[in-house]
Structure 1
Amino acid sequence: MLAADKRALEQNLKVNLLKIREKELRFYTDNCVAIGTQASLLSGFAYSGLIQIVIPEGRNDTLITAYLCVTVTAMGLELIAVINAMLCSMLGPGLALRGPDGSMHRAVDEMLEEYRLTFFFFGIGLVAFHFSAILFAWVEFIWTVALAMSTLLVLFLYGMFHYFLRIYTRFKVPPSLMITGRFETDSSIYETTITAADLRHANAQHTAEQTVGAQVREYLYPISYAHGVLDAKHGTPPTRS
């Protein structure tokens, strides 16, 4: 009776701790979705700048090359941000939900790093997008119009950078004062923390034991494949539906 009560208490405490950590997971997931949405919009604008413009004849080839390269760079960086945000918003909660004990902490910690990297790509792509617009002005219009447009774009870029620093500084939490949902002292008592190296080793070992066909089946039908593996381990004949 006492042993059962102690196990129930430990399980309830563990669930409550995971609920606290889940708030952080939702926070980073929502941020990744927001970044991915804006990045996809900017990548679409950059793609339009490649296929929907008509470059006048007689323009400088170096200027045209610079414009195309910067535009492709902006589109590529924003697409990287889109892909990173999409994968984080899908795989991060998946690891926390279906992984072994300690996966919630690992998912939140990894999403924090990937979220920052995704935001970095988004920011660099935004800067490249402005430089692409500046080069477009010099490729498409006469120098007086291009100079006026370039001046405005530089001012807007400076304004965005200035307000970004102002807002970031106002809401930034110093690392020494940042509070997370992890309980450093008690987490080792109630759960086993799984590290990134453990995950990589387990995934590599699992992949090495599979054939190509098995990998394809696992990707297309993960639930059915998992049941088939369990049946094979326990000696249960596979069922057919």
Structure 2
Amino acid sequence: MLAADKLLLQSEVKQRAINLRERELKLFNSNFSAVGSQSAIMAGFTLTSFVEIDLPPERAFAKGVLHFFITASVCVNFICVAMVMFVTVWGSGKALRGLDGSMDYAVDSMNDERTFIFTCFALGVLSTLGCMFAAAWVLMEESIAMCASVFLLTTMYMVGSEARRIRNRFYVPPGEEVSFNEFKRIDPADEIARKTLRTGSASPFKGLRDE
């Protein structure tokens, strides 16, 4: 009877831990979806502007800078969109359809991918503003282009500084975030399953089933 109650308690705690990790999974999916949507909009806007704008034959240097920022914006934003697609589709599939312990592995791996995705998004924002900066010098008169450049450079600085300030305000240091490592000690088989997920070896319970 005590053994059955112990197994029931372990199952209930494990189920609640999985529910908490599922909330993290939904949070990451919503955040990545928002970032990917904005990157797709910026990439489409940049590509459409490049096709629709008639560039004058003069001002070769400004056109070269414009072409550079257009290429950088499209490439970086598409990388961001592709990474968001890969992480959300494959990560969610791993969490829901994988072996025992796949939820923890998938959520932790998605958390590790955030830095690269958000960096690509930031570079995409700056590249899009760079396109507008170069287009101002290609299409506008010099006096108007100087005024537009002041606004655009100020916007670039504010985006960078405000992003750094807001990140520092909401940043959670490594020792202060909520950890689920203590649940790994509930059932030793969970840790074996996690090692199997990382190494890709055969199931550690195969021999037990055979016995």
- TM-score, with length taken from structure 1: 0.76
Residue aligning to 2:194: 193
Residue aligning to 1:123: 122
Distance 2:97 2:87 in 1: 15
Structure 1 position 139, deviation (Å): 1.2
Distance 1:183 1:189 in 2: 11
SS in 1 for 2:182: coil
Residue aligning to 2:35: 35
Structure 1 position 29, deviation (Å): 1.2
The 10-residue stretch of structure 1 (102-111 or 62-71) with the greater mean CA deviation from structure 2: 62-71
Indicate how the Cα distance of structure 1 residues 28 and 195 shifts in structure 2: closer, same or farther if over 3 A, else same: farther
SS in 2 for 1:56: coil
Distance 1:85 1:196 in 2: 22
Percent identity, please.
29
Alignment deviations for residues 181-211 of structure 1 (CA, whole Å, 9 cap, x no partner): 4436526625131466424x78xxxxxxxxx
Distance 1:34 1:21 in 2: 20
Distance 2:138 2:197 in 1: 48
Distance 2:197 2:99 in 1: 12
Residue aligning to 2:96: 97
Residue aligning to 1:230: none
Distance 2:26 2:180 in 1: 12
Flag structure 1 segments of 5+ consecutive residues without an equivalent: 203-241
Distance 2:172 2:58 in 1: 53
Distance 2:78 2:15 in 1: 37
Residue aligning to 1:13: 13
Residue aligning to 2:73: 74
SS in 2 for 1:132: helix
Instruction: Kindly provide the amino acid, as one letter, of the partner of residue 121 in structure 1.
Output: C
Q: Provide runs of 4+ in structure 1 moved above 4 Å.
A: none
Instruction: State the aligned residue count.
Output: 200
Structure 1 position 43, deviation (Å): 0.8
Instruction: Kindly provide the amino acid, as one letter, of the partner of residue 7 in structure 1.
Output: L
Distance 1:165 1:83 in 2: 25
Flag structure 2 segments of 5+ consecutive residues without an equivalent: 203-211
The 10-residue stretch of structure 1 (2-11 or 98-107) with the greater mean CA deviation from structure 2: 2-11
Indicate how the Cα distance of structure 1 residues 94 and 58 shifts in structure 2: closer, same or farther if over 3 A, else same: same
SS in 2 for 1:176: coil
SS in 1 for 2:58: coil
Residue aligning to 1:22: 22
Residue aligning to 2:209: none
Alignment deviations for residues 145-171 of structure 1 (CA, whole Å, 9 cap, x no partner): 111111110011112222222222221
Distance 1:136 1:196 in 2: 50
Residue aligning to 1:215: none
Distance 1:66 1:24 in 2: 41
Structure 1 position 49, deviation (Å): 2.3
Indicate how the Cα distance of structure 1 residues 193 and 137 shifts in structure 2: closer, same or farther if over 3 A, else same: same
Indicate how the Cα distance of structure 1 residues 88 and 30 shifts in structure 2: closer, same or farther if over 3 A, else same: same
Root-mean-square deviation over aligned CA pairs: 2.0
Indicate how the Cα distance of structure 1 residues 157 and 187 shifts in structure 2: closer, same or farther if over 3 A, else same: farther
Distance 2:167 2:86 in 1: 26
The answer to whether structure 1 residue 146 and structure 2 residue 129 are counterparts is no
Distance 1:160 1:152 in 2: 12
Structure 1 position 122, deviation (Å): 0.4
- TM-score, with length taken from structure 2: 0.86
Indicate how the Cα distance of structure 1 residues 182 and 142 shifts in structure 2: closer, same or farther if over 3 A, else same: same
